Amino acid sequence: MPEATYFFPEGFLWGTATAAHQVEGDNTNNNWYAWENESGHIYQNQKSGLACDWWGGRWREDLENAARDGQNAHRFSIEWSRVQPAPDKWDDGALDFYRQMLKGMRELGLTPVVTLHHFSDPLWIYEMGGWENDRTPEFFEKFVRKIVAAFKDEVKLWVTLNEPNGLVVNAYIDGSFPPGKRDFKAAFIALKNLVRGHALAYHAIHDIQPNAMVGYALYYRGFFPKRDWFPPDYWVTKTLKRNVNDVFANAIRSGQVNFTFFKTFVKEAIGTQDYIGLQYYSSDLVSFNLLKPGEFFSKREYPKDAALSKMGFIADVPEGMAQGLRWAHQFKLPIYITENGVEDPDGSMRPTYLLRHLREVWRAANFNWQVKGYFHWSQVDNFEWERGWSQRFGLWGIDPESQVRTRRRSADLYAAICKENGISSKTVRRLAPEAFDILFPA
């Protein structure tokens, strides 16, 4: 049998990622709480409730498990509505809570990566129109300044916005996120303001902390034409790439915000990134379809030979990770995989999915591309937005009623990878034998 190890660069960050509303619990002053309490928005009308009870202190247990398993970093978000519950009010108690979390991470040997906006807005921002309101970027900048001034000694790596492109699609085109609109003009206005919000946050962070590393986490979707011989499939694939993957990144590079038929220029956004945060889950085969104007005249489907997750939400297509890394490399900046994972309640799919995707990350790192870290989604099962508790992404399972954690087989596999800073044939043979011939062919 072949014996080998895929080694990653020295100093590589290995971690997991979480988001405040999904793990903290009892977040009752933001747009997602309001959305959950309107019937029909969430799978089976489920509620986040206690979530993973991080606000009650269970963050320490989960991050102790992460550190014990060899992780050396953790990405999490700070909930804006807790720190600034009203336009003219700041909550020092919330700041103290996050300060204790950051100190706890440092004590555990975890480098903190802090996301400043992960989908949730304070209720007062939501009631003012959210990201359709041209004042929201300035409000966001004030919040960012408050956070960075408080935690600049603890944090060097900042994520301004989580998946701004995904937020625009989900909140303003397919309507699955609050405010639930299906309006391309509203989507463009929100996109423009998210670009401005990121730019103002970037400049504010560097004003307070010149040596910080600042970027955003972009949702990257793999798109491949279904029929190589049919030019319209290539055209619609290119259109999807431009309007989903490229639109926010191009605005940050050039200041030009071009979305469908709408255009504007945001000068202060030019060059406001110190790294690329890449989030990849799955890919689609794309074909042209005149009957789907709301989807850019595209029909999307998973490759027939791809393994599907429990609910059919994710297909195992590592070629999309390779495509995403090539896309990220064009910026000639450090690259962090800020999210990657699969919903898999029984743990049967995650080991192979994890290994196949990490092999693409390894390849990129060994091309001497600046791949600096990988954050798996997620450490524990959590409240998955409009999908509620129906999808289980955790290395550890959780019962939201009892709060009991259950270690999955994939936690053992990821721990071995983190500790080895690589993927060895010995580890794969022992912990994921079903993937051995894929990773180490004879």
Q: Which fold has domain 9-391?
A: TIM Barrel (3.20.20)
pLDDT of residue 296: 82
424, 409 contact by CB (below 8 A): no
pLDDT of residue 294: 78
Phi-psi region of 343 (alpha: psi -120 to 50; beta: other; left: phi over 0): beta
Confidence at 216, pLDDT banded by 50, 70, 90: very high
Interval 130-169: pLDDT, tens: 999 999 999 999 999 999 999 999 999 999 999 999 999 9
- In sequence order, what are the residues at sequence separation of 6 or more whose Cβ sits closer than 8 angstroms to the Cβ of residue 123? 29, 30, 31, 33, 34, 81
pLDDT of residue 1: 61
Give the C-alpha distances (Å, rounded to integers) separating 199 from 20, 70, 159, 267, 410: 22, 35, 12, 9, 38
Q: Are strands 111-115 and 73-77 parallel, antiparallel or unpaired?
A: parallel
Residue for token pair 């979390």: 101
Range list of β-strands (E), 156-307: 157-162, 213-225, 256-259, 262-265, 276-288, 298-301
Domain boundaries, the chain: 9-391
Residue 260 has pLDDT above 90, yes or no: no
Closest CA to 405 of 378, 374, 432: 378
Residue type, 139: F
CA distance 383 to 391: 8
- One DSSP character per residue, 32-84 reads HHHHHTSTTSSGGG---TTTT-IIIIIHHHHHHHHHHTT--EEEEE--HHHH-
Interval 33-59: pLDDT, tens: 999 999 999 999 999 999 999 999 999
CA distance 125 to 221: 29
Angle between helices 184-208 and 164-172 (to 10 degrees): 150
Closest CA to 15 of 105, 104, 100, 75: 75
pTM > 0.95: yes or no: yes
For the chain, what is the mean pLDDT? 97
Q: Pull the structure tokens for residue 161.
A: 């916005």
How many CA within 13 A on the CB side of residue 239?
20
